[in-house]
Amino acid sequence: MTAETIMHVVFLEPSFPRNQREFVRALRAVGASVTAIGEGSAAALDEELKGWLDGYEQVPSVTNGEALLDAVRRIQSRGWVDRLEATVEAHIMPCAWVREQASIPGTSTRTAWLCRDKPAMKDALRDAGIATAQSVGTADIAEARRFVDRVGFPVILKPRDGAGAAGTFRADDPISLDAAIQGSGLADGAGVAVEEFVEGHEGFLDTLTVGGVVAHEFVSHYYPGVLEAMRERWISPQILTTNQIDGDANYDELRTMARRVIEALGVETSATHMEWFFGPKGLKFSEIGCRPPGVRMWDVYAAANEIDIYREWAHLIVHGTAEQRPSRRYAGGMIALRPDQDGEHVGASGVEEMQRLHGEHLIDVHIPAPGTPTQGVEAGYMANGWVRARHEDYDTLRSILDWIGENVRLRAR
């Protein structure tokens, strides 16, 4: 890039979570000028992060649209802004609103809303002929009960704009439906999504998309499904990404559906994260986010495919073209490790044997330090301990992660 053609990208919240800094690093690496907006002070930024930035604006909350717009207006008063980017679920909608107010290209409020509000999302996709669970968005208990009477048990109640399994309740009968109505907040007037429960294997497909065209895609599988994984302490849940997506006819239907979803929702240049089920009723779309996946799965993709995926995202944003090609050399995955009880971590067993037997295949390992407070099962895959690994063979990688789940133990008191 010459000085005359340097793209100026404003990036939302460079400090938290920790891997947010990687997006800033990558934008700078591909030649962009980067200004960041965050909640912390500029003085609190570390020197490396400061070195990647050409400017910084502090706001009270990065989810406050008016505060974001004021910050962007201040940045625009100093010079042209080409892009405004966000990669965290809660930031996507306010960021889209600010784009439209400030006449900055990028994901529209329509697309952001459809990728955030689950009932609206499913209505749009059903209109496009894409198979998805029956659902309704409501704040009315009577309407929710009528929906359940029509579709039958089991059903799921969850926030209209939730992510993952957070705040999700399954009801298998009238008694558990009453409990779900209370637990979801519907009893207090909160709007929720009520959905038909779709039986089957659960996974996700992530893309990097430019101008509505998929430039890169990665397919991953949950073992077991998310709802079960977030409810049972004894489970050490796994997520695996396959290295057999290219040329594998088994994934053709999924890849086709992903492209139809992207078109129907108007996704242009963005990362996406699409959940799906496959079971007795065939392939069903679940939900999509206009952002990268959670639990730092991009780090797994990078290690499995021998690419700098953050740089690739940045190159697509700044230059509109792909720079790297995923090697597909490895399958990659992670397994969550949970303490035997709540309290504080006191140690772990089996770690040395894991390193001896499988060390060459490990990407990284996190074992909480003694004295660290434990977090509940519902806090997610990276709440306590975890291991990430890769192997040329998908089934062998599953066996390695199974061994880790059976033999590495976190202890708490």
Backbone angles phi, psi at 283, to 5 degrees: -80, 130
CATH for 134-196? 3.30.1490.20
Share of residues in the chain with pLDDT > 90 (%): 89
pLDDT in tens, 367-406: 999 999 999 998 999 999 999 999 999 999 999 999 999 9
pLDDT score at 166: 67
CA 302, 303, 308, 310 torsion-angle sign: positive
* Residue type (1 letter), 130: I
Which pLDDT does position 161 carry in this prediction?
75
pLDDT tens digit sequence for 257-309: 999 999 999 999 999 999 999 999 899 999 999 999 999 999 999 999 999 99
* CA 355 – CA 370 distance, rounded (Å): 20
Q: 336, 366 in Cβ contact below 8 A? A: no
- List beta partners, residue 411: 347
Residue 163 confidence class, pLDDT cut points 50, 70, 90: low
Look at residue 3 in the predicted model and tell me its pLDDT. 45
List the structure tokens of 231: 């409810």
For range 209-226, the mean pLDDT: 97
The ranges assigned to domains in the chain are 3-106, 134-196, 201-412
Q: Residue 167 pLDDT > 70, yes or no? A: yes
Q: Report the C-alpha gap between 144 and 135 in whole angstroms.
A: 10
Enumerate the β-bridge partners of residue 84: 10
pLDDT of residue 378: 87
pLDDT of residue 5: 75
pLDDT band at residue 140, thresholds of 50, 70 and 90? very high
Q: What is the pLDDT of residues 88-134, one digit of tens each?
A: 999 999 999 999 999 999 999 999 999 999 889 999 999 999 999 88
Residue 43 tokens read as 């003085």
Question: Per-residue pLDDT tens for 321-357?
Answer: 999 999 999 999 999 999 999 999 999 999 999 999 9
pLDDT surpasses 60 at 175: yes
How confident is the model over 312-326, as pLDDT tens digits?
999 999 999 999 999
Q: Helix 252-265 vs helix 118-127: angle between axes, to the nearest 10 degrees?
A: 110
The fold of the 201-412 domain, in CATH, is D-amino Acid Aminotransferase; Chain A, domain 1 (3.30.470)
Which class does domain 3-106 fall in?
A: alpha beta
Please give the pLDDT value at position 85: 98
For residue 396, the Cα-to-chain-centroid distance in whole angstroms is 26
Per-residue pLDDT tens digits for 1-21: 444 579 999 999 999 998 999
pLDDT value, residue 376:
92
Strand segments (E) across 321-367: 331-337, 345-349, 362-366
Amino acid at 355: Q
Q: What pLDDT score was predicted for residue 1?
A: 44
Average pLDDT over residues 56-83: 97
